[in-house]
Every structure is written in C-alpha cells, then in structure tokens.
Amino acid sequence: MLTMSAMSALGQGTTGDPSAPLDILKTARQKAQSSQLNASSIAQGGNNAGIVFTILFAVVGIGLAGISGVKLYKSSQDDNAREDVGRSLMGLIVGSGITILGVIIGVVTTYMTGNT
C-alpha cells in the first residue's frame, strides 16, 4: 500500500508548469521594488516621529510650568493657602527645563539635519 501511494505521487510531479517558480520570483521582485520599506523611508519616518516626540515633550513642559505657576501665584496671594510653595516652585522649574530642552533639541535637530 505504501509503495503504491509513493509511485502515484512520483507520477504526478511532471504535469506542473516549469515556469511557475520564475513567475513567482518575478512577482516578488516587482513587489519589493514598489515597496516603501527602504532606508530613506525609514529614516524619514523616524525623523517625523522624533519631531512629534519633541513637540509633545515641549507641550508637556509648558503645561507643567503653567499649572505650577498658577498654583504658586495662588499660594502667594492667600496666606491660608494649603498649597506647598516648594512643590509649586519645583514644578515650575522642572516644567520650564523640560520645555527649554524640548525646544532646544527640536531647533538644533531641525537645523543640523536641514529639515524645515
């Protein structure tokens, strides 16, 4: 039984199209050439992601500095304020630092890479 099934499988191998592997290879090469997955596309995508990350970093810093500045102002106006002045001052400093770093890194990166 095993021999009969092996013989029938060997006999069916000669009826296929001999150019089929070449057609598959040709199609694969055409798809690879039209693909957007190349080094310059990946570099541009990474650059765009870096710009978005830098802008997000700066916006978070502005928000932190703004909230801390408002809390610091309110606590300085009210003698019975429950807010801790030290935490508000530290938040203002950290938020300003994050904003400055985000903007400086963004400007320097854009200037050095020549992307506008």
22-77 pLDDT, tens per residue?
778 788 888 777 766 666 777 777 777 777 888 888 888 899 999 988 888 888 88
The Cα–Cα gap between 2 and 6 comes to 6
6 pLDDT above the threshold of 60: no
Percent of the chain topping pLDDT 90 = 4
The number of domains in the chain is: 1
- State the residue for tokens 């499988």: 9
* Confidence band, pLDDT 50/70/90 cuts, at residue 88: confident
On whether residue 92 sits in a domain, the answer given is yes
C-alpha distance from residue 23 to each of 31, 32, 35, 65, 106 (Å): 12, 14, 18, 62, 48
Q: Is 102 within a domain? A: yes
Decide: 64 and 94 in contact? Cβ < 8 Å: yes
Residue 103 lies in a domain: yes
Rounded to the nearest angstrom, the gap between the alpha carbon of residue 30 and the centroid of all alpha carbons in its chain is 28
20 within domain boundaries: no
State the pTM of this model.
0.55
Q: Which domain holds residue 70?
A: 62-116
The answer to whether residue 32 sits within a structural domain is no
* Residue 54 is assigned to a structural domain of this protein: no
